[in-house]
Amino acid sequence: MNTAIVFVDKKDGQDLAMQRIIDKTLLGHTVNRLKKGGSQKTLVVSKEKWPLDDVIFLDDVRKIIENIEDEAGRVIITGIHYPAIESDVYHDLFNISGAGVVMNGGKTLDIFTMESRDFIHYDKLKYEAYNLKEEITEVKSAEDVVAFAKNLHKEINHRHLLNGVSFVDIDKTYIGEDVEIAKGACLYPDVYLEGETKIGKNTTITAGSHLIDATVGEDCNIMASRIDNSVLHNKVKLGPNSHLRMHCEIADGCRIGNYVEFKNTRFGKISRAAHLTYLGDADVGEDVNIGCGVITVNYDGAHKFKTVIKDKAFIGSNSNIIAPVTVGYQALVAAGSTVTRDVADGAMAIGRVRQEDKPGFGYRYITKEK
């Protein structure tokens, strides 16, 4: 098992470790590139612990031995000060024959490899020099972090440009290392793409959009909106100023307009929610119209409940759907209704107070002395 050991043992190193660069911390970038280079296990030796997935934190160097597997494998030891080492270089380090001290321009760094079975005796071993193919950026101060961030930003965006992605202003679009973007996509300035986000071909994302672990299909138009941990299929129009979060799934051809929020909601093909709507824990069928100001009331203060709206239903504006409830196929909910029980297929539900007019009252109220 290939193992990476990252030392963060100094106060300045601990401060630098959590410096954020695009979508990861400096330590996160180091760990990410080690994984891509072939590390199957990452140990971080530090007095501090931070929220990083698939990382074992140790506060004592002696505990390293207990965490290295008995089977044959390579070990790379490094600090966080050299994040500019690319994944393919780490891959080379894991696969070279014989252990070696890593050299850069004749200067020995604290990165070296060894067989795990010899780790306990590593201070007595002899190493041959292994020369890196690329320059290493040493990150030892806040200024170095800023410089590294600029270089990484340029490197990532240029890679996508060469792969056929269009940028309105390439210097003002921010893309994480793990983001995948298909040829023909167009990105406007002030767009942030983070985590394991995937963008399909010919999709346009306009200024002010922020996507985290999102999957967006082909021919979509995302306008100044936020998407967290959700999936949009093809030909979806979203925004401006909408928010999808917590495992939403939006089917082909949907239209989700301005100031709409979905949480944990499935939205069927060619369904529409044009504006000012909240759907939480909802399962919406195909060709459904959601009017302005519709709310699924999914939380009673203790538990979350589900709303089901079947195909071709029409939900009138300013309606409250009190979950758990099902609105049937081709059912109609009249505008201004509060729905508290199931609506049968093809039925119309009206749940609102009857209007009462008082002749002359409006005139007297408006013209009275203030």
**Weakest mean pLDDT among 76-90, 162-176, 248-262, 267-281:** 76-90
What's the whole-number mean pLDDT along residues 351-357?
Answer: 89
In this predicted structure, the answer to whether residue 106 has a pLDDT above a threshold of 80 is: no
What is this structure's pTM? Answer: 0.85
Q: Which residues are catalytic?
A: 275
Q: Give the DSSP H/E element, type plus range, for residue 365.
A: helix 361-367
pLDDT tens per residue across span 150-196: 988 999 999 999 999 999 999 999 999 999 999 999 999 999 999 99
Is the CB of residue 296 less than 8 Å from the CB of residue 272?
no
pLDDT, residue 47, reads 84
Is residue 129 over pLDDT 70? no
For residue 324, cis peptide bond before it (omega within 30 degrees of 0): yes
pLDDT value at 124 more than 70: no
pLDDT higher than threshold 70 for residue 69: no
**Which residue reads 């009857």 in tokens?**
354
Task: Give the span between the Cα atoms of 113 and 95, in whole angstroms.
Answer: 10
pLDDT-derived band at 7 (thresholds 50, 70, 90) equals confident
What does the alpha-carbon distance between residue 36 and residue 30 come to, in Å, rounded to a whole number? 10
Q: How far, in Å, CA of 349 to CA of 208, rounded? A: 39
**Domain spans in the chain, listed from the N-terminal domain onward:** 3-143, 169-224, 234-370
Compare 353 and 236 and report the one with higher pLDDT. Answer: 236
Measured CA to CA, the distance from residue 113 to residue 74 in angstroms comes to 7
* Gap between the terminal Cα atoms of the chain: 83
Q: Is the pLDDT of residue 251 over 60?
A: yes
Alpha-carbon distance 151 to 155, whole Å? 6
Specify the pLDDT at position 94: 82
Closest C-alpha to 341, from 314, 313, 308: 308
What integer pLDDT is reported at residue 134 of this predicted model?
60
**Looking at residue 95, what is its pLDDT?**
80
- Residue 30: how many CB atoms within 10 A of its CB? 26
Q: What is the largest CA-CA distance in the chain?
A: 101
pLDDT digits (tens, 9 = 90+) for 320-339: 999 999 999 999 999 999 99
Per-residue model confidence as pLDDT tens digits over 30-66: 898 889 889 988 999 888 888 888 899 988 777 877 7
Please give the mean pLDDT across all residues of the chain.
Answer: 88
Span 234-370: which CATH code?
A: 2.160.10.10
pLDDT of amino acid 116: 72
* Closest-CA residue to 167 (of 177, 150, 153, 148): 153
CATH 3.90.550.10 applies to domain 3-143? yes
- Write the single-letter amino acid at 59: D
Q: Which range in 109-123, 187-201, 352-366 is most confidently predicted, on average pLDDT?
A: 187-201
Q: Is the pLDDT of residue 97 over 70?
A: no
Question: Residues 136-163: what's their mean pLDDT?
Answer: 88
CA dist 239 and 216 (Å) reads 14
Model confidence pLDDT, tens digit, residues 285-324 = 999 999 999 999 999 989 999 999 999 999 999 999 999 9
The two tokens of residue 32 are 């990410």
Residue with structure tokens 């309105």? Answer: 168
Q: Indicate if the pLDDT at residue 104 is higher than 90.
A: no
Per-residue pLDDT at 109: 65
What are the b/e assignments for 47-86, b being 16+ CB within 10 Å? eeeeebeebebbeeeeebeeebeeeebbbbbbbbbbbbbb
